Amino acid sequence: MKKQKDFIYKCSSCDHKEPKWLGRCPECGQWNTLVETAVTNVKGKSKHGETHSMPKTLPLAAVDPMEGNRLSSGIGELDRVLGGGIMKCSSILVGGEPGIGKSTLLLQAAAAAVTKGRILYISGEESAGQLRLRADRLDLNKDKSVMERIEIFCSGNLSEIETVLNNVKPVLILVDSAQTLYSEDAGSVAGTVNQMKFCSFELINWAKEHDAALILTAHVTKEGIISGPKTLEHMVDTVLYFEQNDKTAGLNGTTDCRFLRAAKNRFGSIDEIGIFSMTEKGLTPIEDTGRMFLIRREGDLPAGVATAAVLEGSRTILVEIQALTIPAKGTISRVFSDKIDSARVSRISAALEKHLGLRLSDQDLYINAAGGIRITEVGVELALACALYSARSGLALPADLAIAGELSLTGEIRPVRRLSGRIKTAANLGFNSFLSPSADQESNIIASELSGKIKTAKDIKTAIKLIYG
């Protein structure tokens, strides 16, 4: 027997029929007039009269690829981290410590999102009055249409929220926060992990079924106990975490920046980061990030400082890597490094000790990256090695030198990806020389055009000789 579709969506004003729900009837242009209508099909009826719904598979080729199904959040940095915007039918979790800016990001996205449909902001954290105050602070009240299209609902009660969703039929749902959601169907105690999981799951499904997108926030406590949001990670399509720098003074420009990183993304890479600063007018994207993690100095660098040209997703940033070595206080030496993985620091220092005869194993090592940015890219290793060498020897590196390279345990320096891009950024920021394991033709052309010099070294010993002569 041929299976027929069970439901269609019929416009209550012009009777136009659509196979799936839309916020606006394409025929008459009315909003929220499409209603779910059951299709009774005579052919599909059994002898008892009820309609059969046979489970059916679909050839992969026949599946809609969902291309072009993204909507822009209107916030470039957020779109970048998401892989080009918010995917429809998807769910996004934004985690972070209290006070980092999750609610602000949600409200700003609600105001800036590029969509004609309605936007529902559900808050179990704040009252409508508080939201209004925040909106005023963000200057959203300047645009009346923005203020009108954002519907506010302040509750964490799932059944109430579902009623509201079915009435408003939003295309973008913002929920602040997952921890405030509760439902009587998920046990008697509100605020438990079960409640949060149950309610989030229901909302994720609602969004999927109604062609909407959902953004949920979740708190991560200072101690890093993430039992809450972690349990939601597998349910959502995308997980973003907000991190904050430690407000290092002396940086160029902004001192208070927030990094938005993807920990999981079904629709894009997890390499991209969004960089914002929290200003009087909310989260402001920082576009010129090349110089942000450098410290402005007149003249020479102090010993223990090296400039690394590293990749952060699609952009290159120059970061000052700082190293300090002091005789170990205990019987075993320790590594204090939270911006670069300590295991990486230990490995690099072991390689330096072995191949340069530089004694580091009796030293406590302190490593920092200016601007408080966490660096995971492998291209930072050569700069880290140079900073450590400089710290231990007391010999400062040239101030106009930028460095990129991967250091192997054998002391060899391995090539890095997108070298020419790194050289270009460094040259644009006024660095005249560049240390790397190799230089391809493109890099040489870029360097010569920008009056820069590329120094190449195949191993750490040669590199140190090249720098210090």
Question: Is 286 a binder of ligand TYD (CB under 6 A)?
Answer: no
Residues 62-121 that bind ligand TYD (CB under 6 A): 96, 98-104
What's the rounded Cα separation, in Å, for the pair 138 and 133?
A: 9
Q: How far is the CB of 75 from ligand TYD (least distance, A)?
A: 14
Q: Which of 285, 398 has the CB closer to ligand TYD?
A: 285
Residue 103 binds Mg ion, judged by CB under 5 A: yes
Cβ-in-10-Å burial (0-12, 13-18, 19+) of 280 comes to exposed
281 binds, among ligand TYD, Mg ion, none (CB under 5 to 8 A by kind): ligand TYD
Report the distance separating Cα 424 and Cα 413, nearest Å: 21
Q: Please, what is the minimum distance in Å from the beta carbon of residue 139 to ligand TYD?
A: 9
CB nearer ligand TYD, residue 136 or residue 449: 136
From the list Mg ion, ligand TYD, none, partner contacted by residue 282 (C-beta under 5 to 8 A by kind): ligand TYD
Question: Whole-angstrom Cα distance, residue 466 to residue 452?
Answer: 16
Nearer to Mg ion, 174 or 236 (CB): 174
Q: Cα-flanking dihedrals φ and ψ of residue 421, to 5°?
A: -65, -40
Provide the strand spans (E) within 233-332.
238-244, 257-265, 273-279, 282-285, 305-312, 315-327
In the list ligand TYD, Mg ion, none, the entry touching 200 (Cβ below 5 to 8 angstroms by class) is none
Q: Distances in Å between the alpha carbon of 232 and those of 78, 83, 120, 122, 204?
A: 20, 21, 21, 18, 11
Strand partners, 218: 95
Strands (E), 39-83: 70-71
Query: Minimal distance in Å, beta carbon 146 to ligand TYD?
Result: 15
Structure tokens at 425: 């950024």
Bin 135: left if φ > 0, else alpha if -120 < ψ < 50, else beta. Answer: alpha
In Å, how far are 250, 304, 333, 385, 457 from 359, measured between CA atoms? 31, 15, 12, 13, 22
Pairing of strands 305-312, 315-327: antiparallel
Coil, strand or helix: which one is 443?
Answer: helix
Minimum distance from CB of 137 to ligand TYD (Å)? 5
CB nearer ligand TYD, residue 23 or residue 101: 101
In DSSP terms, 273 is beta-bridged to 261
Is residue 247 a contact point for ligand TYD (CB under 6 A)?
A: no
Answer yes or no whether residue 134 interacts with ligand TYD by CB under 6 A: yes
Closest distance between Mg ion and the C-beta of residue 175, in Å? 11
Question: 342-381 mask for ligand TYD (x: CB under 6 A)?
Answer: ----------------------------------------
- Taking the complex as a whole, the smallest distance from the CB of residue 232 to ligand TYD amounts, in Å, to 16
- Residue 99 contact, options Mg ion, ligand TYD, none, Cβ 5-8 Å cut-off depending on partner type: ligand TYD
Which residue, 281 or 417, has its beta carbon nearer to ligand TYD? Answer: 281
CB of 105 to ligand TYD, least distance (A): 7
By beta-carbon proximity to Mg ion, the closer residue of 103 and 108 is: 103
CA within 13 Å, CB half, 175 = 33
Residue pair 241/247 in contact (Cβ under 8 Å)? The answer is: no
What does 26 interact with, of Mg ion, ligand TYD, none (CB < 5 to 8 A by kind)?
A: none
| Dihedral, CA of residue 158, residue 242, residue 151 and residue 75, to nearest 10 | -150
How far CA 67 is from CA of 63, 87, 254, 262, 461, in Å, comes to: 11, 9, 37, 21, 51
Smaller CB distance to Mg ion: residue 181 or 251? 181
Q: Tell which positions 255-284 bind ligand TYD, by CB under 6 A.
A: 278, 280-282
Candidate segments 112-120, 134-142, 205-213, 451-459, binder of ligand TYD by CB under 6 A? 134-142
- Tell me the closest approach of the beta carbon of residue 199 to ligand TYD, in angstroms: 19
**# of chain residues touching ligand TYD (CB under 6 A):** 15
**Which of these ranges, 97-105, 155-163, 266-274, 369-377, lies near Mg ion under the rule CB under 5 A?**
97-105
Strands 172-176 and 305-312: unpaired
- What would the DSSP string read from start to end of 357-388? ----TTEEEEEEEGGG-----GGGHHHHHHHH
User: Does 108 contact Mg ion by CB under 5 A?
Assistant: no
**Residue 44 binds which one of Mg ion, ligand TYD, none, with CB within 5 to 8 A depending on kind?**
none
Residue nearest to Mg ion (CB): 103
d(CA 36, CA 244): 45
List contacts with ligand TYD (CB under 6 A).
96, 98-104, 134, 137-138, 278, 280-282
List contacts with Mg ion (CB under 5 A).
103
